[in-house]
Amino acid sequence: MKRVLSLLLVCLMLITVFCACGETAQSEVTTEALATAAITEGGTETDVVTTDTERLTPDVGDVNFGGHVFRVLTRGTSSSTWYSRDIYADTVTGDIINDAVFSRNSAMEQKYNFKVEEVGSKTPADDALKALSGGEDIYDMFCFKVQADITSLLLKGYLRNLNNVEAMDLDRPYYDQNSRAAFTISKKLYLVTGDLLTMDNDATRCVMFNKNMFTEFNIEGIIGGTLYEKMQDKKWTLDMLTTCAKTVSKDLNGNGVWEITDQYGMVSEQFNVLALYNASGRLTYEKDSDDVPYLACNTEDGLAVFSKVITLLNDSSYCRHYSNAYNEAIPQFKEGLVLFYPAQLADVPLLREMDFDFGILPLPMYDENQDGYHSPVTTYGCNCIAIPTSVQDVDRAAKIIEILSCESMYVLTPAYYELNLKYKLARDMESSPSIDVILGTAVFDLGYMWKWGGIYSVITNAFNNNTPDLSSQLKSIEKLAKNEIKKNVADIEAIVN
């Protein structure tokens, strides 16, 4: 019901915008939007019904911002993958995300009398630091990479503690509660993700699989069902992934050497060691009762997971390593030479030109005993909402964030989640429940975000050197990690705002 209502809302929005802004955009988008809204998964037009549920509104009162220009510093569009597209759109183009952003901004700007302006930069952290150190109040919000960029500004005391910003109601559903819980340190929160953004979704890990290869090798008969059925029954595990991967691997030219032109069960990069570890429901760093992080992966069960994952990913008889996804993994998957491609949702659009069908799954569970699926978000790709300390009118900035975030829940998120991803880019309707799971189980690993003790280097070195036992390496960084955390916590606790 929630998905159907979201679809109806976004379709009505799109129809209104396109009727006002041009027949071309309307013909390209609204037909698909209407069809998607009318027919739910396995259902018919009769599934679309009305409800008396009240639409949530931002608790900002009857405000008029007097034409204020709400300036957001972003990472711009210099990257082909991690580019900003959720803050500003200057016109309707027929692209669903662009047009949802345009509609959201236009409606809220008119209603509350303000204007959104995006300042894109290849080096947003440097630009932010320059403005902040000079005391300039020129940005109302920061929206760029969490890892290194945002954290560096945080430690310098240049970000507002969102827990002290009264006009932001962080309990509202348009803020991601998983990110809120993960990002606090000593009960202070300086960044959060939510419906205002789409790049946190793009940065969420998943597994794409070749449906034709699955059928060709009768893997359904081997595992006793489809991968979607196994996922829904919570039987989609590392062992099942390995079984499937081993089934399809072939030395195609018979020369006895595994090469990029051969057929593999899986291709992988070094980040997947951490991703699959997180998918087991574990984090490299947890937090104690005082909300202070500590190294948590140097335990018997944590070491066992790392050992299994590193061993799996280093078995060259069914898994090939790659260093560049765009030059190696994606072309190989497009050629039909790979069954499983673990990546992030941002890679899904890059596969739309494939000649065969592919499906999308969450990362597999470690085993059937765990509580469910966990989908790690890379903080390198993920953007966030942050308010700089240079903002003089914090109440105004926070209220505009509330307004845009609330409207995004009804306009931008359905556009990204229901239309762009599920129906436009994914090749089959069966992927819809998978995407529900992926986006609903996001986790953020502080070890990757902060790199305390060089934890990520320890993990990647173990993968690259095929040394599954991490016990001595993790033990060797315990003191360093503890000291780095102690310093960071002291810096954060010293911040007054």
- Count other Cβ atoms within 10 Å, centred on residue 222: 12
| Cβ-based burial of 371 (10 A; exposed 0-12, middle 13-18, buried ≥19) | exposed
Break the chain into its structural domains and give their ranges: 60-201+380-425, 205-376+446-494
Q: What is the rounded distance in angstroms from the CA atom of residue 142 to the CA atom of residue 136?
A: 14
Position 47 scores a pLDDT of: 29
Residue type, 410: Y
DSSP 263: B
Q: 124, 74 in Cβ contact below 8 A?
A: yes
Q: Where are the alpha helices (DSSP H) in 233-350?
A: 238-248, 271-279, 300-313, 330-334
- Indicate if 205-376+446-494 has the same CATH topology as 60-201+380-425: yes
446-494 residue pLDDT tens: 999 999 999 999 999 999 999 999 999 999 999 999 999 999 999 999 9
Tokens 């320890």 correspond to: 458
Reported pTM: 0.89
Q: 462, 310 in Cβ contact below 8 A?
A: yes
Position 252 scores a pLDDT of: 85
Position 264 scores a pLDDT of: 96
Q: What is the rounded distance in angstroms from the CA atom of residue 218 to the CA atom of residue 220?
A: 5
Q: What is the rounded distance in angstroms from the CA atom of residue 236 to the CA atom of residue 241?
A: 7
Position 42 scores a pLDDT of: 31
Position 44 scores a pLDDT of: 27
Q: Where are the alpha helices (DSSP H) in 61-176?
A: 96-112, 124-133, 151-155
113: left (phi over 0), alpha (psi -120 to 50) or beta: left
Position 421 scores a pLDDT of: 86
**Phi, psi for residue 166 in degrees, rounded to 5:** -65, -35
Element (H, E) at 344: strand 338-344
Q: What is the rounded distance in angstroms from the CA atom of residue 336 to the CA atom of residue 250?
A: 12
DSSP 205: E
Bridge partners, 340 (sequence order): 209, 266
Residue type, 351: L
Instruction: Name the CATH superfamily for 60-201+380-425.
Output: Periplasmic binding protein-like II (3.40.190.10)
- Count other Cβ atoms within 10 Å, centred on residue 485: 20
What stretches in the chain show pLDDT beneath 70?
1-53
Long-range contacts of 116-119 (CB under 8 A, 24+ apart): 116/70, 116/72, 116/87, 116/88, 116/404, 117/69, 117/70, 117/71, 117/72, 117/88, 118/71, 118/72, 118/74, 118/84, 118/87, 118/88, 119/71, 119/72, 119/73, 119/74
Residues in the chain: 497
Q: What is the rounded distance in angstroms from the CA atom of residue 8 to the CA atom of residue 4?
A: 6
The CATH topology of domain 205-376+446-494 is: D-Maltodextrin-Binding Protein; domain 2 (3.40.190)
Position 53 scores a pLDDT of: 61
